Structure 1
Amino acid sequence: MSNIQEQINILVEVQGVELEILQAGRLVNALNDEAAALDRAVAEREALVASEKATLDDLRKAYRDLESEAKLNAAMIVKSNEKLRAVKTNKEYQSILKEIDEIRKKNSGIEDRMLEYLETIESAEAAVKAKEEELAGFIQSYNEKKETFAVKEMRERKAVEALNEKKARISAHADPHVITVLDDVKKKVRGLAVVPVQQAICMGCHMNIPAQLFNELQRFDELRFCPHCHRIIYWKEPR
């Protein structure tokens, strides 16, 4: 086997390892994307629960405000009743009675609103409880999935480390100049940088190469490049 053929074999092997590294890296990125999507889903659900709890708090505060107003009015009624015992004229008596009646009507309206609030609060509490239970279940599932993602990601990162070590071992047997050429070609083309030629067709761009170049490839006396896509090409003996 010629030296150039050996170098091409090394390049092909290095390229294969790089593809494995790329695939593992893509899987790591996919796992990170899935984990990020889960994080967003949890955050959205937590925000929804927080919003509904804030609404519930507002309802409770409004109820307490009405309750305080009703108590204040009840106290005013008590004071007005005390004043009735001290009045000396019928006019004053009728005026206080009217005042008490107005306060009672006002309180009646407040009490009606309080009942409405209680019904709304009860419904809101049930909705919040249901959402919290749903969130708790989702978070449990989220934690399990995150743990699975973490295990898979760690496995893929270790695989990448092992592949990088393998690449380094293989590259150590290559001519530094050949590795430099490979790196230069990789910057210029998309996909594979080293491809075989079969039946005078470049397997990178699937274009025919000149007959003379095809014959020269079989000599394995130097690196050669596809005149169309500029990849490193080599002759692959048909099986």
Structure 2
Amino acid sequence: MTRVVVVTGTDTGVGKTIASAAIAARAVADGQRVLVVKPVQTGVGGTEPDPHDIATVADLSGAEVLELVALDEPLAPDTAARRQGVAIPTVREHVARIRAELPSYDLVVVEGAGGLLVRLDAEGGTLLDIARDLTFALMRADGSPVEVVVVCRAGLGTLNHTELTTTALRAVQVEPAGLVIGAWPAEPGVAETCNRTDLTRLTGVPVLAVVPAGAGSLAPEEFRAAAPAWFG
């Protein structure tokens, strides 16, 4: 039975890619067959393109990767596609593609773009829809588990943003499996220290991992060796 982990975030830039790499690296170290899927990547065109998140994940984790859509401008996917004049798959098509990959792997990690409600297609579909549709489709099909992990910040504002995200998941009957603090500072202040406890107290969701700030700059072998220790 394939395990599916959907990685979302409370916002853009919170550390989803590095968290996805850490989840994948931990499973690869356990000898699992791992695929990380990025349904939509934006910002990869122009004179100063962003790196493909999926390339970062592959380099750090050693997992297999799959990017379904790449768009030039660093905008929400539906906006970037409209401005670029291209048609992009619907969320339903993304779900079907992900499901087709499941039999070949022990773990499939699905990394979102931006926050939970960022629009991934021209019909208003979001990562929330992917998480919901995968959860209920796999539950009906064979009971394969889907775990939704929310990557959040350590500092001020994270409690509100994380509660909003977990509330949105529960509104569609998807219980978040855990939180990952995406960039834990080397010298945390009072806010960070309190938030580390309060995130679980206020959301009812456990903190599964705390990723140190700058982890994405580690050499791949250092990243893979260190990643398992970030999980509680």
TM-score category, normalised to shorter length? under 0.3
TM-score (norm 2): 0.23
Which of the two has higher C-alpha Rg? 1
Higher RCO by CA contacts (8 Å cutoff, separation 6 or greater): 1
Bigger proportion of residues as helix: 1
Bigger proportion of residues as strand: 2
